[in-house]
Amino acid sequence: MPMTVRDVMSRFVIAVETGASFSDVVNAVCRFNVDAVPVVDQDKCVLGVISDDDLLLKGLGGGRTGDSIFEGAARRRQRRKAMGRTAAEIMTSPAVTVTEDTALRHAAHLMHDNRIRQLPVVDARTGCILGLVRQADLLKVFSRSPEDIRDEVIAMVGPYIRSCTVQVEDGVVSLVGSVDRRSRIAILLDAVWQVDGVVDVEADVSYAEDDLGRTVPPLYI
């Protein structure tokens, strides 16, 4: 079963409310040595996030008046944050969030696509904050035991392979076996890569029938 945010998240959360001053936010970031803080309302529902990059805009002079009226939307957002005095004025909103049931792979994609280093974990129904998941937390997927990875690989490839031998060492899966049709090899390998903790795949798979329309000898990968 794919690992989820629940498996690696931290339930220790440093958050600020919308009325927190710029200095309050800076003190929270520095005191607890975090990259960002969620901004919450009185019910602890996440409204936005303030990153250390957002705070640094103040020191870059981004809020000075007199800049070109032809600036783009991104530049206007930076100006607003640089001029902000409270968390509500500085934060990026809406926040990119996940729930406890979010797959780690999806959380990793969200961080990469949005260029952020952590995600607030919220209750799926209320939106209230439950914890945080950081990039470093996602690396825990590669600490799975070889036995757990092997068992999941066998379960995943079972429907596609006639016989197989699976070994796992340092996250590298070595798979030897045979399939009835050549087209199943790509499906088989994709299934292996879906297993959390797999670092690489070494496969030696033969096939009985070439259903891809090529007259070639059995393929060994």
Q: Are residue 161 and residue 137 in the same domain, yes or no?
A: no
169 inside domain:
yes
14 inside domain:
yes
pLDDT of 50 reads 96
Dihedrals phi, psi of 175, to nearest 5 degrees: -120, 125
The whole-angstrom separation of Cα 104 and Cα 119 is 11
Q: Are residue 47 and residue 107 in the same domain, yes or no?
A: yes
Q: Which of 123, 141, 159 is the last residue of a domain?
A: 141
79 inside domain:
yes
Q: What is the arithmetic mean of pLDDT over 132-137?
A: 95
155-199 pLDDT per residue, tens: 999 898 988 899 999 999 999 999 999 999 999 999 999 999 999
The whole-angstrom separation of Cα 198 and Cα 181 is 25
The whole-angstrom separation of Cα 17 and Cα 45 is 10
Task: Identify whether 2 is preceded by a cis peptide bond (ω within 30 of 0).
Answer: no
Output the CA–CA distances (angstroms, integers) from residue 118 to 41, 90, 95, 115, 135, in the order listed: 19, 18, 11, 9, 6
Q: Are residue 130 and residue 178 in the same domain, yes or no?
A: no
- Give 163's strand partners: 178
- Domain with residue 158: its CATH number is 3.30.1340.30
Structural domain of 197: 144-209
Q: Are residue 17 and residue 124 in the same domain, yes or no?
A: yes
Q: What is the arithmetic mean of pLDDT over 88-102?
A: 95
221 inside domain:
no
Report residue 20 as tokens: 């927190």
Q: Are residue 104 and residue 41 in the same domain, yes or no?
A: yes
220 inside domain:
no
217 inside domain:
no
Q: Are residue 12 and residue 99 in the same domain, yes or no?
A: yes
User: E strand or H helix at 129, and its extent?
Assistant: strand 129-134
Q: Which of 124, 141, 158 is the last residue of a domain?
A: 141
56-70 pLDDT per residue, tens: 988 766 555 555 554
- Domain with residue 89: its CATH number is 3.10.580.10
216 inside domain:
no
Q: Are residue 40 and residue 54 in the same domain, yes or no?
A: yes
Q: How many domains does the chain have?
A: 2
Q: Are residue 109 and residue 201 in the same domain, yes or no?
A: no
Q: Are residue 79 and residue 101 in the same domain, yes or no?
A: yes
pLDDT at 122 over 60: yes
Query: What 3-state class would DSSP assign to 14?
Result: coil
Helix intervals (H) in the chain: 22-32, 52-59, 73-83, 87-90, 104-114, 135-138, 146-157, 184-193
Q: How many other C-beta atoms lie within 10 A of the C-beta of residue 215?
A: 5
Query: What 3-state class would DSSP assign to 122?
Result: strand
35-63 pLDDT per residue, tens: 999 999 999 999 999 999 999 988 766 55
197 inside domain:
yes
Q: Are residue 101 and residue 156 in the same domain, yes or no?
A: no
